[in-house]
Structure formats: C-alpha cells, structure tokens
Chains A and B, each alone.
Chain A
Amino acid sequence: GAGVSQSPSNKVTEKGKDVELRCDPISGHTALYWYRQSLGQGLEFLIYFQGNSAPDKSGLPSDRFSAERTGGSVSTLTIQRTQQEDSAVYLCASSFQVSSDTIYFGEGSWLTVV
C-alpha cells in the first residue's frame, strides 16, 4: 500500500481480555517496528522485525506481549490479559532497511483498557 496501515485505529477493551493489533507495512519494506507511546510520553521501542525474524524482543514490557510477522509483510502485536497500564497508542513503522533509512509510521492503534 501507499503507507503503513494499522488496525484497529481505536480499541476499548476490558481488563483481562486479549487484543490483537495489526500492521501492514509499506510494500517492499523489509524492516518493521513496533513502538508504544503513552499520553504525553516519548516513544518506547517494543520490537523490530527484519523479514519474519525478530532478533531482539527485549523491548517487550512483559511476557503478556508477543508479536509475529508472516510473509515478510503483515505483523500482529498481541497483548494477553490486558491491564490498564497497557493503555497507549501502539505505533507501527517500516523502513526499507534497518536503521539506516527513513522510517514511516502508521497512524497508530489507540488502546484503552477499562
């Protein structure tokens, strides 16, 4: 597609439920990144993919968070047993290569856990 596409754009969920956030990167971009941004805060790096591989998952806040990428394209970030502190905007970004090219962001998935 023309840009990074994320869905859902907004999600309200009850505490304890699982959520899945989807990211469709720019076509041809091999690198894909997930960031989290709480209201009024900076961007927190979560995980990145090079192709389908996630070499470093240390940015994930807890084992309730997981992510996968299939076919070198779409990625899904899953949060299990959501907590109120998970409320944030989850931003996906992609770049042609890792760490040397411009990264382009999607509009984010705004998650509210009530």
Chain B
Amino acid sequence: RKEVEQDPGPFNVPEGATVAFNCTYSNSASQSFFWYRQDCRKEPKLLMSVYSSGNEDGRFTAQLNRASQYISLLIRDSKLSDSATYLCVVGNTGTYKYIFGTGTRLKVLA
C-alpha cells in the first residue's frame, strides 16, 4: 500500500461546480498535511495547509480526518483557472520526509 494515495482522475467538471478530492495516508503518526497545486510543467506550489479543525481559504476548504486517515479538499464555484493537478502531501514530525501523493488532475470546462 502506498503511503499516500490519491485518485488520479481526471475530474472533468463544468465551471461553477463544486468538486471534492480525498487523499488517504497510511502512517498514523503523520502530523502535518498540505495540499499543493501543480500546473503543467511547473513546480508544485502550496495551496493550503490542513489543520485538525479544518480550514477554509476563499473557495477552498480542507478537512482532516485522523480516525480514518484521510484529508480532503473541496473547491466551490470552480473556475477555469482551477484546472491543475492537486497534490496531497503528508509529513511526519521528527522524520524527514514529506510524502507526496501522485496527484489528482482537475479539468474545469467552460
């Protein structure tokens, strides 16, 4: 089983739609969680950190479920510019690795 797993997609959604991605992780000791966005042939860029209480940034909401060991990302009112690959990242405090999922590809259609 991979340490971090994501549905690769693609998720094709119309503009204005709400879309949600999940990411599961296998190490129960994981302590830090992030969502990164990666555009084609570009480096990953931080979208948002994921906190235990959940957090929201504009149209984006991230949730953490420690009991089931998954994190989620919800995008409301999708824009064409949201089209990208969304990477789930898990870090274990005290170790060194940030483990990246392989990403979920989103296409927002006009």
Contact = CB atoms under 8 A, between A and B. Distances in A.
Interface of A: 31, 33, 35, 41-43, 45, 48, 50, 55-56, 91, 98-108
Looking at chain B's contact residues, the main secondary structure is strand
B43 A42 contact: no
A99 B101 contact: no
Contacts of A98: 95-96
Interface stretch (B18-26, B60-68, B75-83, B85-93): B85-93
Contacts of A103: 46, 89, 98
A99 B43 contact: no
B96 to A, nearest CB: 5
B99 A45 contact: yes
A43 B49 CA distance: 18
Nearest to A44: B100
Give 10 closest A-B pairs by Cβ, nearest first.
A42-B102, A99-B91, A105-B43, A43-B100, A48-B96, A100-B93, A100-B32, A98-B96, A107-B43, A102-B46
Contacts of A31: 96
A50 B95 CA distance: 11
Contacts of A91: 43-44
Contacts of B31: 99-100
A101 B91 CA distance: 9
Given A100-B91, A108-B43, A42 B101 contact: yes
A33 B43 contact: no
A99 B103 contact: no
Contacts of A42: 87, 100-103
Contacts of B96: 31, 48, 50, 55-56, 98-99
